[in-house]
Structure formats: structure tokens, C-alpha cells
Amino acid sequence: MTNHTKNVRKGKSLRFSRLHLPGHLMMIIWAFIVLLPVYLLISNALKTRVGMYDNPFGPPIPLTLNNFKAVIDQGNFFMYFGNSLIVVSVSLSMILLLGSLAGYGLAHWQGKLSRGLYFFFMIGMMLPIKIATIRLMELMKTLGLFNHLSSIILIYIAMGLPIAVFILTEFIRGLPGDLYEAAHMDGARRGKIYCSIVLPLIKPALATVGIYNLVPIWNDLWFPLIFITQEDKKTVLLAVTKLQGQYTSDWPRIFALLTLSALPVIALYLMFSKSFVTGLTAGAVKG
């Protein structure tokens, strides 16, 4: 077949191919596969026990909020939620503060030592911190930090720094040099320039770093599981692990706890989906 006839045939079918039917079909099937478990999660959390066993796939009729009430009142959900919130907010603010200071330094300081330090941070992006677990357990024992939220906070800060340093250094390097010149001529010192010029300008990069770290820290099970055994220090996910044994026959109540644990991040994501996608895939795609 010559190119000419091929193109003619293509032209005829162009309108049809613009509909992208196979693509839509594929996407609709996958959307169904993604949303079905999420629907089952939420709808069954709103059912009574009998209602769930009668019709696990149907809509929540009669609808009840008792499962959520039980999780919040008897299950102490807000205590766990508060602990998770402390861990995430302290870790994130420290990552952003230390990361931006280091990025500011590395962007300006040109020398062998600074290149070496930059490389030192970069190695940490490739290696999973879980490898260090055994030594970290000893370290926390020595510091007496078992059952303190600060144990996992310190680890999360260390874990979040490499990507923060990478993104922020690159971002600050890309800022126009004139900005600093002008401020410096006005007699501003480095610390002042950091606060009044650099910080406001790097807000988008700070957001990327923040989101990149927010989800893994909120969703981390490994370190809380190891370091936190005391009830009043537990995070949301540790409350979920307690299910393996507790009120196992009361499924709607389990669904309610799972819903409450998953919903905050899903809601944040749906509100800021664009920045989430950039944030979570940052570091993976270079530049």
C-alpha cells in the first residue's frame, strides 16, 4: 500500500479515531476497578452489621453513622489523629526549614567541599532508610526516645532532607542573580536576604517538597510500628493495626476506621490534585 492511499484512508477514519473509543473504554474499566473498592469501603462503613451482610454491594440503606461514632468515641480516633498531625507538621516544617537553609547555602557556595556535600545528600535519594533500622533502634534506645513521637520525627526529618536539598538547591540556583546583587548593595546580610527574598520566591518549590514528604510520612507504618508501643502515642495507622484481633466480627466498624484514616489525604488530594501529582512524581523526573 502506498503512503497516499494510506493517508486517504486515515482521513476518512479521522473523525472516528478522534473519539478514542478504545481509550475511553480502557479508562472507564480502570476507573471502575479503582473506585469499586473505595465505594465498598465508604458505603459499608455507613451500614449496620445486618445491612452489610444482607447486601454488601448495595447502597447504605438504612444509613447509620453509629460506626463512625463508635470509632471516634470508644476508639479514641482523635487522639491517634492528633499524634499523626503532630508528627507530620513538625517533620514537614523542619524539613522545609533545614532544607531551604541548606539549599540556599549550596546554591551560593561554589567549591569542592560544597559539591561533595551536595553529592552526599544526593546519595540519600536513592537509598531507602529502612536499611538503617537496626542501628536506629539502638540509637533511639540510647537516646531514650522509644515511645516518644520525637523518635519518628527525627527519622522523618533525616529521610526528607535529601529530596528537599535537591529540589531547593536547584530552584534557588535558577533564581536571577540580580536579585541578590541589589539587596546586597542595600547592605542586606545573608540572613536577611534569605528571609526577605529567597523564602517568598521559593514558595512553589517548598510546596512540592512538602507534598512529596507529606504523603509518605502520614502513611508510614514501619517506624511507628517499631518505636511506638504506648497507646497514647500511637498514630492513626497503628490504630488500624490493632484491628488484627479487635472487634473482628464488626466489619462496618472496621470500614469506618479505615475510611476515617484514608479520607483526610484523599480529600487533600482531590482539592490540590495538580500539585500532588507534581509533588509525588518529583525527584523521579529530573529537571
Partner 1 sequence: MQPSLRHRKTSLNPGGGYWIWYLLPAILMYSIFMAYPMLDSIRLSLYAGTTGSREYIGTANYVRLFTDPVVSARFWGAFKNTWVFFAFHMLVQNVLGMLFAVILTNRTMRGRQFYQTIIFIPCTIAVMVSGYLFRLLLNPQFAGPTLRSMGLNALVHPWLGDPKSALSVVSLVSVWQWVGIPTMMFVAGLQSVSEDLLEAADIEGCNSWQTFRHIRLPLIMPVIGMIAILTFVSNFNAFDIVYAMTGPNGPPNYSTDLIGSLFYRYGVAGEHPIGIPEPGVGAAIATSVFVMLLIGVLPTLKATQGKE
- What are the DSSP calls for 202-238, one per residue? THHHHHHHHHHHHHHHHT--HHHHHH--SGGG--HHH
x/- letters, 1..20, toward partner 1 (CB under 8 A): --x--xx----------x-x
Q: Using CB under 8 A, which residues numbered 238 to 277 contact partner 1?
A: 240-241, 243-244, 251, 254-255, 258, 261-262, 265-266, 268-270, 273, 276-277
Comparing CA positions, the residue from 35, 41, 92 lying closest to residue 220 is: 92
Nearer to partner 1 by Cβ, of 33 and 200: the residue is 33
- According to CB under 8 A, which one of 8, 12, 30, 61 is a site residue for partner 1? 30
- Cβ 106 vs Cβ 268: under 8 Å: no
Nearer to partner 1 by Cβ, of 142 and 200: the residue is 142
Separation between Cα atoms, residue 84 and residue 62, nearest integer Å: 33
Told to check if 33 binds partner 1 by CB under 8 A, we report yes
Q: Using CB under 8 A, which residues numbered 55 to 114 contact partner 1?
A: 55-57, 94, 98-99, 101-102, 104-111, 113-114
Alpha helices in 2-132 (DSSP H): 3-18, 21-45, 49-54, 66-73, 77-108, 112-126
C-alpha cell at 122: 544526593
* CA triple 212-214-220, angle to 5 deg: 110
Least distance in angstroms from the C-beta of 126 to partner 1: 6
Nearer to partner 1 by Cβ, of 56 and 204: the residue is 56
Q: Using CB under 8 A, which residues numbered 105 to 164 contact partner 1?
A: 105-111, 113-114, 117, 120-121, 123-124, 126-139, 141-142, 154-155, 157-159, 161-162
Q: Which residue has the cell 527574598?
A: 197
C-alpha cell at 141: 534506645
Least distance in angstroms from the C-beta of 136 to partner 1: 5
C-alpha cell at 190: 545573608
Nearer to partner 1 by Cβ, of 168 and 233: the residue is 168
Separation between Cα atoms, residue 36 and residue 96, nearest integer Å: 37
- According to CB under 8 A, which one of 82, 222, 242, 250 is a site residue for partner 1? 222
Q: Which residue has the cell 480502570?
A: 30
